[in-house]
Structure 1
């Protein structure tokens, strides 16, 4: 059973979603992190995840409840099809460092960049 956050704050200036659990657990999830880990089919690829890149500048434009079980996050790049369940959000909070590290490694291995104006080239010598 997942825990529900006691407070949810969209911080547009810092491009973060702040989730509070209980009196002293606060997690700040950057919009870029949430965007590249969206549970949508567009990102998750029906079981074969599609690496998202060039999202360093993405922000959150809107946060809405989706029934009693999730949040619908709308990003300023037009992506808004993922429903972030309470359980999934809690996992993102608890595993943020590990998931981000894995994502950066996947980007490097694919020769991709977080910056949309940058094209990385992988040389095979």
Structure 2
């Protein structure tokens, strides 16, 4: 595989992994720790978020070699939605909403305008 493609692939892969950790850090306590005090949920979330940051920082450094700052942010938002929707449905048991599709289409518009 050409080295020019490895950076963007690494950037995307690290962002996906980072977002999995972030989504669990931000929302899993609502299902798993709802009977515990908020500070226990916060401490556990911070522990999980460490791994999010450990992946996010190198992802952004790699990505910034290929994209500008706005492109990094829009990519992050698209990946966030792509991770959040399955998490919401499969892990949290939330129903699928057509609004997920509309939000995704809006993000595709944002991708178009940022990357054109």
* TM-score in terms of structure 2 length: 0.28
TM-score (ref. length: structure 1): 0.27
**Larger relative contact order, structure 1 or 2 (CA cutoff 8 Å, min sep 6):** 2
The structure with more radius of gyration? 2
Larger helix fraction of residues: 2
More strand by share: 1
